[in-house]
Amino acid sequence: MKLLVVAAFLAVACATVIKDDFDFVIRKESLVNVDVKTKEMCLLKLLNHILQPTMYDDVREIAREWTLEDNIDKYLKAEVVNCFVDMYKNGMLPRGEVFVHTNEKHLAEVVNVFKLLYFAKDFDVFLRTACWLRERINGGMFVYALTVAVFHRPDCIGIVLPAPYEIYPYFFVDDHIINKAFMVKMTKAALDPVIKDYYGIKVTDNNIVVIDWRKGVRHTMTEFDRTNYFTEDIDLNTYMYYLHMNYPYWMTEDVYNVNKERRGEIQAYTAQQLLARLRLERLGRGMCDIRMLMWNEPLKEGYWPKIRMHNGESMPVRQNHKLLLTKYNVKEKILLEDIETIIREGILKGKIELRDGTTLILKKPEDIETLARLVLGGINMKHDHAKVIHVTNLFKRMLSYSRYNLDKYTYVPTALDMYTTCLRDPLFWKLMKRIDSIFMLYKNLLPRYSHEDLDFAGVKIEHVMTDKLVTFMDEYDVDITNAMYLDKTEMQKKRSDMVYVARMRRLNHHPFKVTVDVVSDKAVDAVVRVFIGPKYDCMGRLLNIHDIRHDMVEIDSFLYKLDTGKNTIVRDSLDMHGVIQQRPWTRHVMDRSIDEMGVGVKMVDSWWYKTRMGFPHRLLLPLGNHGGLPLQMFVIVTPVRTGLLLPSLDMSTMKERHACRWTTCIDTMPLGFPFDREIDESHFFTKNMKFTDIRIFRKDLDTANMVKDMDMSEMVMKHDDYTYLDTDMLMRRTYKDVMLMSVDNMTHM
């Protein structure tokens, strides 16, 4: 029923989607004191069709009239403006080239662009600077700098930008989908009906082009592709991209306030949690855990990105059984070995001495922040915050199988190079496994949690229960219109004649509730943590607590005020901490009705405007199976502990930037507690914690739950041994197929 309601909502919304979404005109007068929604409208115009010059007259006029040199006094730091102007006059990344997140040359330039935006005195100057940049610098560089600035400027709190897969669909949508959309645009939807049916293209009466992602050739190379519904999920990759936007590794100056947050620990824990989450997905598919990256053996898993960028270049394909060490990357390999050795020896010794005489202490639990910033960026080791040592990026550079023009404008990125695509590549997960081993070494040297650390005197968990946990593959339409180039007529009309939609399959689950019965002998504030993890390994063997502690996925953590006596805590999955629901289409967010004054555009109020970053709710659970995937749930209730980490910690800053995840804004216990350190079973189990068995089921998506825009009555399932689509690929049954099937059945009788 819920799917039908959603389908009806989409149908109604799509019926009006062709209207001009951006009638709002940016005023010439000051925009300092405008409301958040007006600010958001201004920025939406700047991000629409980023590959072309803006179609909006007001943006072009502001960009033409604004001059940086004449307005230096309107920026907090004059040197920022002078530095950018000098760089701009010497030449920057050309418009039309692909901006690469990890390219040092690109990065040095985009940091200066960010500074120009960040140090604007007010939102009015910020917006006019953004308009000036929109018409002059590389589109990808502009989106990156603007996004980071919005995430960190105090006057941009509450602004939610369009999803990155709407701004630049190329990094999220398979190339064959983009190609089909171009075919429809070039022919004005006058394609051969047989071709349209074969490609899964449907053009609705209101000029919406729906392209079925499932149709066409499936490129599979290894067993890893069986979980690509998870690793290539657009919302999961958006989560990774936004994590970097919240904590850019090059941002080390105190002026940005990121040093007052647990930025390093959050990024390290995110890597560990993503690995644990993938482990659950692989267990559900009968696959064992992935191995960490090894230099001395060929890389078994190749990868076909299926991504073509706007300039026509395709992300390089890595073949199976590729040698990691070649004559071209020996220097990077030696450098990485030296750095790894220094870090691991520093962990064992308890300190690392830097060249400038600084000593990094790595002995206490709170020093995990120092170690994480050292490994993942955030410590200025070269006195240039655009060139901090970032071990993960050094690995990416060493492993790049596109070795040409690494520091040039014409560099063709691999999937590893982009924060929007790195999770798609199996090599990145092996790399994260190796990086995570550094943090595991550090954590294993810390003292084990004592009984007092784990216990909550007077508090006992009696029962933990859940609803039936049901997962399924549903459908979602991705708006890819911004991947299309507008012609002259469309530019004049300020809209595309057609809206292009990619219909994809994605993992989802029914909302569920977790019920915890707790008895307390006093009224007290408590922190509740909820984990799910494996019960058996891939061979069906029962796991002990030591085996599972690195694979426990923290799905929820929250504050709760216990009353004296029995407390029944009911936690809805939709309300779990740090998760978000589906991002709406930018087109759907706009309420095109006129307000009472007859001017302006109202934005639809919803939960979405309360946050900008979070883990996708629909990915909380791994894809189950028909008999139920056996897992276990762990719940622990502990007192609120503050003041344990980072004397400069500012929880309010994290809340304002919507950067809260896990217990970072409510507690200062180490992330991953109580599974982050080695466990002494004789002291671990207490009354305020409880394990319970759970099963996760899978419901096949039948035609009754599908959005049926095309006739599928003659379609049958086509099986594929490598991908999750083994029961989802649809093809039309021909007379020849029927005859072959009959002959095949006779041969097996």
Task: Kindly tell me the number of DSSP H helices and DSSP E strands found in the chain.
Answer: 24, 19
pLDDT at 5 over 50: no
If one compares 156 and 218, the residue with the highest pLDDT of the two is 156
d(CA 474, CA 728): 11
DSSP string, 624-637: -BTT-EEEEEEEEE
User: Nearest 5°: CA angle at 129, between 126 and 135?
Assistant: 140
- Contact in structure between 376 and 267 (CB atoms under 8 Å): yes
DSSP string, 35-49: -HHHHHHHHHHHHTT
Please give the average per-residue pLDDT across 625-646, as a whole number.
87
pLDDT at 106 over 90: yes
Average pLDDT, the chain: 83
Phi, psi dihedral angles at 671 (to 5 degrees):
-65, 135
Please give the average per-residue pLDDT across 190-210, as a whole number.
89
Looking at residue 127, the DSSP 8-state letter turns out to be H
Shortest CA distance to 566 belongs to which of 463, 437, 681, 432? 463
pLDDT per residue as tens digits for the range 55-85: 999 999 999 999 999 999 999 999 999 999 9
Please give the average per-residue pLDDT across 445-470, as a whole number.
94
pLDDT at 28 over 70: no
> In residues, how long is the chain?
749
- Contact in structure between 475 and 618 (CB atoms under 8 Å): no
- Residue 6 confidence (pLDDT): 36
Shortest CA distance to 160 belongs to which of 171, 150, 146? 150
CA distances from residue 489 to 9, 18, 24, 626 in whole angstroms, order as listed: 30, 15, 20, 53
d(CA 718, CA 218): 11
Among 22-26, 388-392, 454-458, 531-535, which is the least confidently predicted range?
22-26
Residue 56, number of CB atoms within 10 A of its CB:
20
Q: Which residue in this structure is represented by tokens 């690195």?
A: 550
| Strand arrangement of the beta sheet that strand 629-639 belongs to | 201-203, 208-212, 499-509, 469-479, 689-699, 629-639, 524-534, 553-562
Give all domains of the chain, ordered by start, each with its CATH number. Answer: 16-162 (1.20.1370.10), 175-212+473-509 (no CATH), 223-444 (1.10.1280.10), 451-467+511-578+614-699 (2.60.40.1520), 711-747 (no CATH)
User: pLDDT tier at 205 (50, 70, 90 boundaries)?
Assistant: confident
pLDDT per residue as tens digits for the range 292-320: 988 888 999 999 999 999 999 999 999 99
If one compares 125 and 20, the residue with the highest pLDDT of the two is 125
Cis bond leading into 674, ω under 30°?
yes
Please give the average per-residue pLDDT across 473-479, as a whole number.
92
Please give the average per-residue pLDDT across 136-160, as a whole number.
93
What is residue 290's three-state secondary structure?
coil
Residues of the chain with pLDDT > 90: what percent?
58
Read off the tokens for 734: 């021909």
User: pLDDT tier at 646 (50, 70, 90 boundaries)?
Assistant: low
pLDDT per residue as tens digits for the range 336-375: 889 899 999 999 999 998 777 788 899 999 899 999 988 9
Query: Left, alpha or beta for 540 (phi > 0: left; psi -120 to 50: alpha)?
Result: left
**CB under 8 Å to 620, separation ≥6 — which residues?**
509, 555, 573, 576, 579
- Residue 522 confidence (pLDDT): 93
3-state secondary structure 313-368: CECCCECCCECCCCCCCHHHHHHHHHHHHHHHHHHHHCEEECCCCCEEECCCHHHH
Instruction: Give the range with max mean pLDDT: 197-206, 617-626, 702-711.
Output: 617-626
Shortest CA distance to 676 belongs to which of 536, 552, 556? 552
pLDDT at 237 over 90: yes
- Residue 742 confidence (pLDDT): 37
pLDDT per residue as tens digits for the range 252-261: 777 887 877 8
- Residue type at 48? N
Identify the bridge partners of residue 693 per DSSP, sorted by sequence position: 632
User: pLDDT tier at 588 (50, 70, 90 boundaries)?
Assistant: confident
Read off the tokens for 365: 């639990």
Chain-centroid distance of CA 351 in Å reads: 33
Shortest CA distance to 101 belongs to which of 136, 147, 58? 147
**CB under 8 Å to 736, separation ≥6 — which residues?**
none
- Residue 583 confidence (pLDDT): 84
Read off the tokens for 214: 């499932």
If one compares 217 and 329, the residue with the highest pLDDT of the two is 329
pLDDT at 739 over 70: no
- Residue 160 confidence (pLDDT): 87
User: pLDDT tier at 284 (50, 70, 90 boundaries)?
Assistant: very high
